[in-house]
Amino acid sequence: MTSTVNLEGKTLSSTIAKLNAPLMQAFDPRLSSESPVAIIPTPTYNTQAQRLADFDTLTAALEYAAAGAAGYNFYDAKGNLRSVLPYRALRLNARTSAQRLLSLGLVSGDRVAIVADTTPEFVELFFACRYAGLVPFAMPVPVNLGSHAVYVQQLRGMLEGGQASAALANTDYIAFLQEAAEGSQGLRWVGTPEQLGKLSAPDIALNANDPDEIAYLQFTSGSTRIPRGVIITERALMSNLRGIVRNGLEIHAGDRCASWLPFYHDMGLVGMVMAPMVAQVSVDYLATRDFAIRPLQWLRLISRNRATVAFSQPFGLKLCTLRVRDSDLEDLDLSSWRAAGVGAEMIRPDTLRNFAEKFAPAGFDARAFLPCYGLAESTLAVTFSQVGQGFQSLRVDASTLVDRKLAIRLQAEGRKYSEFVNCGRPLPEHTVKVVDDAGQELSDLRVGSVLVHGSSIMTGYFNNPQDTQKTLQPGNWLDTGDLGFVFEGDLYVTGRRTDVIIVNGRNIRAQDIEELAEQQPEVRTREASAFGITDTNDVTTIVLVIECRLTSTTDRQALTSRLQRLVYMAFGVNCLVELVPPHTLPRTSSGKLSRFAARQGFIQRTKLTDQLSAESGDI
C-alpha cells in the first residue's frame, strides 16, 4: 500500500495528459478502463520535527524523513498530479530495490547508470543504490531532433567512463540504452525498473553507509568525448546540503519546493531532490520537457501549491518571460515564492529585471531573487547571496575590464559598461579566492580565475587522474574554470575561460566541437577552433573556424552544411562556420591553437566588435 500511487493512464480522455507516458504504454489496453482516483500531494506542513540536514549520510536522512508526511509529487504537462512518492514510500521501495540490485551480484562500490527522466522510479533507484552501497550516476535523456546516434554514443561514453556494472532506463529510453550497452564488457545487467521489479528481493541485510564512501558520480559534459564523472563522497554531499538548506535557503517549516530542473543536472539532483529531502520538505516536479514547452506550468505549480523555493537557470527565467502570455498572469499568484534561486550559468541582470517586471502583476517579489554560484565539482553550491534581499549588481567600466582586468565601478554615465550580478558569499567551511595566471591571489576588484576550497569539493574525476590533477590544484584548491572578482567578500562571476561555451544554459566544451570537425576527412587535426560570441542581447552563438584547402564552392558549401548539421545533432544548437586559408588560426609557441586569439581574429575579420557584449572572457 505504501508503494507509489501511480495515476498513469487515468486521464486518458486528454491525450496531452499522456505527455510523459511512453508511447508503448499509451497503447496498453489495461490502462484505459480505470476510473480516475483522487490523490492529494504530500503536505507542506510536516508531522515531524524539522531537522536541517544534520545527518552523516543520505540514507540516514531518508530514514528520518520517512517518519514524516512529506515527499515528492510528480505533475504532468497539463498540471495533473500523476504520482505521489512520500519519503516513507521512497524508503520502503528503495530498500526493496536495493536488495534486488544486490541479487544481481553487484558489490559495494559498483556503479549503476540510470537514465534520469523526471519520474519516481529514478529517485527510487538512486536511493536504492545508496542503500545497497552502490554508486549511482544519472544519465541524460535525448532532447534534439535526429540525435539518435549521438545520444547512443553519449550513453556509451558514460557507461564506459563510469565503468558501470548495471544500467537502467524506463521503457521510453531502454532501446537507446541497450544499443549503447552492446559489446560492453563490464555491464552485468541492463533493463527497465519494471524488469528489476520482477526479480525477487532476497532478504539481504542493508548496511549503513560510511561518510567517506562515494555517494554518486555526476557527469559534467554529455558529448562526444569520454565524459568526466565527478566523484562526490557522502561527507562532501552532506556538507553541501547543510550549507544549502541552513545558510543558503534558511529552510523553515512551511517551505515547499517546485522544480522542473532535470534530475541528471547537479542543480536538479542535489538542489531539488536531495536538499528538500534532508530537510523533510515536500517537492512538486514538472518534467523538464514539459516546462520547456509550456513554462507557465511551473509557475502555476508554484502558485497553486504555494511553493516558497524554486530554482532555475537564467535561461529558464528567460523562457518564462518570453513564452508566458500576459493573459495568463491573471490566474497566477506568485507571492508565496520567497527564494527564487538563480544559478548554473552567468546571470545577466537584465534577465532578472525582465522576469521581475513581467511577473510583478502576478505577485512576484523581486526580493525573492537569490543568485548563487556553484558547480558539480563542489557538489553543487559554493556561494549564496542573502536570502530575501533580491539581487545586487555592480556596473563596471567595460574597457578597463578588458584592458586591465580590473573592475572599476562606473563613475560617469554614458561610458560603455558591463554589469555583473553579486553571487554572494561562500557557504561555511568554504573559501573562494581569485588568482592570476601565475596562481597569485588577487585583491578586490581584480579579475582572475575563481578557485574554491572547502568541505564539499570532489575527490576527483572518476578514473581520470590527468584531469583531476589539472582541476584540483595543490592544497586542494578547485579550479572552477570561471573568471571573476571578489568585492567586499562577495563573488562576482564575469565569464568562462574559453574552453566552455554556454548556449541556452547548456555547457558545451569547445574541444568537443573541434573534435567533431576534425573527424571530417577535409579537416586536419589542430585546424579547427571553436568559441562562443555573445551579442548585446545576450544571445550566444557558436563559431567554428576551419582552415580549409578546398577550392570548389560546392565542396566548401558541402563541408559547411555537414559541420552545421553535425554540431546541431550533437549539441542541439546552430553554429556559424567560417572557412579560412591554412595558417590563418593563431597558434601558441607550442603549436597549440589559441581559441582566445582565434576569437579575436574572427571578430576583427567580421567587424563585430560593437555588437558584442564585453566579457572578461575577452581578456
Partner 1 sequence: MASDYTEILQRLCHHLKKFCEPNVEITPETDLINQLAIDSVKLLNLIMEIEDEFDISVPLNALADVQTVHELANLIHRIKYTEQ
DSSP letter at 345 equals S
Nearer to partner 1, 140 or 448 (CB): 140
CA 269/CA 283 separation, integer angstroms: 12
Q: How many residues bind partner 1 (CB under 8 A)?
A: 37
CB of 472 to partner 1, least distance (A): 33
3-state secondary structure 557-587: HHHHHHHHHHHHHHHCCCEEEEEECCCCCCE
- The DSSP element (H or E) to which 62 belongs, if any, is helix 58-65
CA–CA distance, 500 with 503 (Å, rounded to integer): 10
| Nearer to partner 1 (CB atom), residue 208 or residue 539 | 539
If one asks whether residue 148 binds partner 1 (CB under 8 A), the answer comes out as yes
Q: Which residue in the set 73, 83, 118, 147 belongs to the binding site for partner 1 (CB under 8 A)?
A: 147
Which three-class secondary structure state does DSSP give residue 468? helix
Q: Give the span between the Cα atoms of 504 and 312, in whole angstroms.
A: 12
At 535, is the secondary structure helix, strand, or coil? strand
Candidate list 572, 599, 614, 618; residue touching partner 1; CB under 8 A = 572
Residue 564 CB, nearest approach to partner 1 (Å): 7
Report how far residue 198's alpha carbon sits from residue 196's, in angstroms, rounded to the nearest whole number: 5
CB of 394 vs partner 1, minimal distance in Å: 30
The smaller minimum CB distance to partner 1, of residues 463 and 564, is found at 564
**Which range in 137-145, 270-278, 427-435, 513-521 contacts partner 1 by CB under 8 A?**
137-145
Residue among 64, 72, 127, 176 that touches partner 1 (CB under 8 A) = 176
**Touching partner 1, residues 278-307 (CB under 8 A):** 289, 292-294
- Interaction of residue 27 with partner 1, rule CB under 8 A: yes
- The CB-of-85 to partner 1 minimum distance in angstroms stands at 22
Verify binding: residue 45, partner 1, rule CB under 8 A: no
556 is a site residue for partner 1 (CB under 8 A): no
19 binds partner 1 (CB under 8 A): yes
Closest CB to partner 1 among 159 and 486? 159
**Residue in 565, 608, 609, 611 binding partner 1, rule: CB under 8 A:** 565
CA distance 27 to 21: 10
Place of cell 518570453: 322
Q: In the complex with partner 1, which residue's Cβ is closer, 261 or 368?
A: 261
DSSP output for 33-56? SPPP----PPPSS-SS----S--S
Q: In this chain, which stretch among 143-151, 337-345, 441-449, 585-593 interacts with partner 1, using CB under 8 A?
A: 143-151
Cα(313)–Cα(345) distance, integer angstroms? 7
Q: Looking at this protein, which amino acid is placed at residue 32?
A: S
Instruction: List the interface residues with partner 1, window 360-419 (CB under 8 A).
Output: none
- Minimum CB separation from partner 1 for residue 314, in Å? 14
Give the DSSP letter string of 169-217: --TTTHHHHHHHHTT-SS-SEEE-HHHHHHS----PPPPPPPTTSEEEE
CA dihedral 295, 301, 306, 311 (to 10 degrees): -50
Angle (CA) 221-222-227 rounded to 5° is: 65
* Interface region with partner 1, contact rule CB under 8 A, candidates 57-65, 246-254, 415-423, 570-578: 570-578
122 binds partner 1 (CB under 8 A): no
Q: Per CB under 8 A, does 103 bind partner 1? A: no
Quote helix, strand, coil % in the chain, to nearest 5: 35, 25, 40
Q: Which is nearer to partner 1, 27 or 45 (CB)?
A: 27
Residue 18 touching partner 1 (CB under 8 A) = yes
Query: Which parts of this chain interact with partner 1 (CB under 8 A)?
Result: 15-16, 18-19, 21-23, 26-27, 77, 141-148, 151, 172-173, 176, 289, 292-294, 319, 323, 504, 561, 564-565, 568-569, 572-574
